[in-house]
Amino acid sequence: MLYRIIFFLIFTVVGFILGMREGLSYQGLLWGAGVGSIALILEYVLTMVGFGTVLGGMLGLSVGLLFAKLVYYPLKTVFTSMDGTYIGVVFNALFGYSGLLLGLRAGKDFTISNLVKAFKTRVEEEHAKIIDTSIIIDGRIVDVCEAGFIEGTFIIPQFILQELQHIADSTDSLRRARGRRGLDILHRIQKMSNITVKIIDEDFPKIKEVDAKLVALARLLGAKIITNDFNLNKVAELQGVTVLNLNELANALKPVVLPGEAMNIFVVKEGKEFNQGVGYLDDGTMVVVDNARKLINQQIDVTVTSVLQTTAGRMIFAKLKEDAEREDQRAARH
Q: What pLDDT, on the 0 to 100 scale, is given for residue 119?
A: 43
Predicted confidence band of residue 269 (pLDDT cuts 50, 70, 90): very high
Q: What pLDDT, on the 0 to 100 scale, is given for residue 334?
A: 66
pLDDT digits (tens, 9 = 90+) for 204-240: 888 889 899 999 999 888 889 999 888 899 999 999 9
- The mean per-residue pLDDT over the stretch 243-261 comes to 84
Domains within the chain, CATH numbers bracketed:
2-107 (no CATH), 122-252 (3.40.50.1010), 255-333 (2.40.50.140)
pTM for the structure as a whole: 0.53
- The mean per-residue pLDDT over the stretch 150-165 comes to 89
84: pLDDT strictly greater than 70: no
Q: What mean pLDDT value characterizes the chain?
A: 80
pLDDT digits (tens, 9 = 90+) for 23-47: 676 777 777 777 777 766 666 665 6
pLDDT digits (tens, 9 = 90+) for 94-107: 777 777 677 767 66
Question: 221-243 burial, b if ≥16 CB within 10 A, otherwise e?
Answer: eebbbbbbbeebbebbeeeebeb
Cα–Cα distance for residue pair 98/60, rounded to 1 Å? 8
Highest-confidence segment of 56-70, 83-97, 118-132, 255-269? 255-269
Predicted confidence band of residue 123 (pLDDT cuts 50, 70, 90): very low
